[in-house]
Chains A and B, each alone.
Chain A
Amino acid sequence: MKLDVMYFAWVRERIGIPRETIETEATTVAELVKELSAREERYEVAFSDLDALRVAVDQDLTDFDAAISNAREVAFFPPMTGG
């Protein structure tokens, strides 16, 4: 399936692009992370410490074990620092 993957803040800087559309069979966020990490070193580095990352599926904050089978958009970013 086609999936939009987005990166924000230092995750975006480390991976080098703000978003990409990928073809994936991953059914959970964790599987997607594994797939991306296996691609290239820059992904592996960005995803090396999942405790330092947050994930949103279709613009809702969720966990790394969340299902993405019907998702359109997955975003990875560091803990938020608004206000």
Chain B
Amino acid sequence: MRISVQEAAFDAGAELNAFQAGKVDMGAVVSFSGIVRDLPEAPLRHMLIEHYPGMTERALTKIAEEAMSRWNLGDVLVIHRFGQMAPGDQIMMVATASPHRKDAFAAADFLMDYLKSRAPFWKKEVTADGADWVASKQEDEDALKQWEQD
């Protein structure tokens, strides 16, 4: 399991290759990449991501450990950047490795749902009109319900 919270840009392809290298007992690797999206209504100058150093790593580790305990996974990778990013820049990625694809897909989906609403990151969009914090969405909160267990 590797969790990285970093300001520096990263190469998602290289990270994915490194992640799956040598995992001969894993038949499935699923990855997700989050990219800074330009805004249709007002061109985005840049995006700023703030985080809570210490708690961020702690929250991401907890989420990844939960995924490892729920599904048959060989490994989990989470990389999330903070600081200033331009449209098209890679913000984050997750990857999961499992003997079978269903576990790899489900775990990646779970990681993304929890990472969006439970890891302490906040996005701010800066356009020609000014800067605005991105509001959280009810649908993101609702997405967590499907993972609740008794």
Instruction: Say whether B117 contacts A79, CB under 8 Å.
Output: yes
Instruction: Say whether B55 contacts A83, CB under 8 Å.
Output: no
Q: Which of A8, A59, A60, A80 has the most CB of B within 10 A?
A: A80
Q: Which residues of the other chain, B, contact A50 by a CB distance below 8 angstroms?
A: none
* B116 interface hit (Cβ, 8 Å): yes
Contact of A81 among B58, B80, B116 (CB under 8 A): B116
* Residue in A closest to B80 when the chains form the complex, CB atoms: A82
Mark B77-88 against chain A: 1 for CB-CB distance below 8 A, else 0: 000100000000
Q: Would A81 and B52 be within 8 Å (CB), given that A10-B133, A59-B58 are in contact? A: no
* B76 interface hit (Cβ, 8 Å): no
* A61 interface hit (Cβ, 8 Å): yes
Instruction: Say whether A80 contacts B119, CB under 8 Å.
Output: yes
Instruction: Say whether A59 contacts B54, CB under 8 Å.
Output: yes
Mark B23-37 against chain A: 1 for CB-CB distance below 8 A, else 0: 000000000001000
By secondary structure, the B interface counts as mixed
Instruction: Say whether A81 contacts B123, CB under 8 Å.
Output: yes
Q: Would A75 and B119 be within 8 Å (CB), given that A10-B133, A81-B136, A83-B34 are in contact? A: no
Q: Which residues of the other chain, B, contact A83 by a CB distance below 8 angstroms?
A: 34, 91-92, 112, 115-116, 121
Instruction: Say whether A9 contacts B55, CB under 8 Å.
Output: no
* B120 interface hit (Cβ, 8 Å): yes
* B122 interface hit (Cβ, 8 Å): yes
* A56 interface hit (Cβ, 8 Å): yes
Mark A48-83 against chain B: 1 for CB-CB distance below 8 A, else 0: 000000001001110000000000000101111111
* A15 interface hit (Cβ, 8 Å): no
- CB A61 to nearest CB in B, in angstroms, measures 7
* Residue in A closest to B58 when the chains form the complex, CB atoms: A59
24 contacts between A and B (CB under 8 A): A6-B52, A8-B122, A9-B122, A9-B133, A56-B120, A59-B58, A60-B58, A61-B59, A77-B120, A79-B136, A79-B141, A80-B118, A80-B119, A80-B136, A81-B134, A81-B135, A82-B51, A82-B92, A82-B115, A82-B122, A83-B92, A83-B115, A83-B116, A83-B121
